Amino acid sequence: MKFKKLTDKQIIISLDRLTRFKPTEEKYLRVFKDIIVSNLIEPKYKKTELDNFDYSELRDIATEIFNNSLKENNTQDLSLNCLLKDYENSIFKNNTEVNKLLENRLDYKSALNLLGEELPLNLKWFKQLEFTNNTIESRIKDGLLFPLSCVVIVEGITEEILLPEFSKILDFDFTKYGIKILPAGGKNQVVKLYYSLSEVLKLPIFVLLDKDAVENVQLINSKLRDMDKVYLLNSGEFEDLLPEKLIINTINSDLQNFASVNESDIEKPEPMVKILEEIFKDKGLHEFKKAEFATLVKNQIKTDQDVSDEIRLIVQEIKSLSEQMNKSLI
C-alpha cells in the first residue's frame, strides 16, 4: 500500500469530525473514506468503490494512513479509543458493523498533541476525556457540553442563538448540563431530523416548533418515543416570544446611530418578524435578517426580566428532560 501522509490540518479535522455530535456510522464512514480517497495512492479507489468494502477493511486502511502520518505515535495505548467507543455506544444504538469502526487503533494520544488551545467544545472534551473520565461533574465544572444529556431540535437560527442565552440567564447553562441544540432549517426538516435521530439516539429529544406547525407535530407524534417531548409555540414564531422591552432596547442600543423606536412602533397586531422588517425598511436600515438581529438581542439579555413567561416554560421543559437523563447517568 502506497499513500501520502495526512497533513496536521487533516489530522485535526479528522479528530474534530469523529468527536462531533453525529450518528456514529455516518461520521466514521465519512472520515475513513475521506482519508482513503484523499491520501491512498496505490491501490487507488473512488469513494463509490469504498461503499462495497467491509467496515473493518475501511477502518484498517484509514488507521494505517492516519498513524503513519503522525510524527510520533504509540498505538499500544488505546485507552482513549475504549473511552470513545463506550461513549458512542452510550448515546447511539450501534450494531456489530458500526462497532467495527469504533474498534480502531487510531493513535488519538499522539494526535492530540497537534491541538492548540482555541478548540470547539467537542475537542476540548476529547482532550480532557482521559483525565475527567467523562463525568457529569467535570462537564458542569468546565462547561464542556459532553457527555450529552438531551438534544433540542428547533426550526431555525433564532432559537439556536437565543434559547441557550435565555436558559443561561435562568441559571441553566446548556453547555454545563449537556444540552445539544440542533437547528433543522424549517418545520419540515424538523420532522425529518427527528425521524432519523429517534431511530438511533438513546438520549431524550425535545422538539420546538412554531405555532403554524400543527401538521408537523402530528407527524412527529405518530413516532414519538416515551422519553421525548414536542412543544408547539402558543403564538407565532420564536421572535413573538421576545419581550417588547428587550426588542426596543436592542434596536435603540445597537442601532442608535441610525434609528430609534418606542412601544407604539412594535405594538401592532402582526407577527414580530413582519413588524421588524417594516421598521428596518422605514428607518432606512439594511435588510432585516433573523440571525443578525438574534445576535443583537443576545447581547442585550441582562437579567431574568428579559425572559418571557413562555420562554421560561420552554426552558423548564428542557431542564426536566435533561435532569431525568442525568439521573440515569449517575
Domain limits, the chain: 2-137, 148-330
- Whether residue 330 is predicted with pLDDT greater than 60 in this model: the reply is no
CA distances from 269 to 122, 176, 235, 264, 274 (A): 43, 39, 12, 11, 10
Specify whether the CB–CB gap between 306 and 169 falls below 8 A: yes
Among 9-13, 139-143, 173-177, which stretch is predicted with the lowest mean pLDDT?
Answer: 139-143
Find residue 153's DSSP bridge partners: 182, 207
Q: What mean pLDDT is reported for the chain? A: 92
Q: Note if the bond before 43 is cis, omega within 30 degrees.
A: yes
Which residues neighbour 305 within 8 Å (Cβ) at sequence distance 6 or greater? 243
Mean pLDDT to the nearest integer, 239-265: 84
Distance, in Å, from the CA atom of 30 to the CA atom of 16, rounded to the nearest integer, reads 12
- Whether residue 256 is predicted with pLDDT greater than 80 in this model: the reply is no
Angle (CA) 225-227-232 rounded to 5° is 80
- Whether residue 74 is predicted with pLDDT greater than 90 in this model: the reply is no
- Whether residue 328 is predicted with pLDDT greater than 70 in this model: the reply is no
The whole-number pLDDT of residue 234 equals 94
* DSSP 3-state of 66: helix
- In 40-95, which residue ranges form alpha helices assigned H by DSSP? 47-50, 55-67, 79-91
Burial of 11 (0-12, 13-18, 19+ CB in 10 A): buried
Mean pLDDT to the nearest integer, 169-181: 96
pTM: 0.92
Residue with cell 446548556: 174
Mean pLDDT to the nearest integer, 253-266: 76
Give the neighbor-by-neighbor strand order of the sheet with 229-232: 179-183, 150-154, 205-209, 229-232
What confidence tens digit (pLDDT) does each residue in 3-54 have? 999 999 999 999 999 999 999 999 999 999 999 999 999 999 998 999 999 9
The whole-number pLDDT of residue 245 equals 93
The DSSP 8-state label assigned to residue 4 in this structure reads: P
The whole-number pLDDT of residue 301 equals 96
Mean pLDDT to the nearest integer, 298-307: 95
Closest CA to 203 of 182, 172, 189, 218: 182
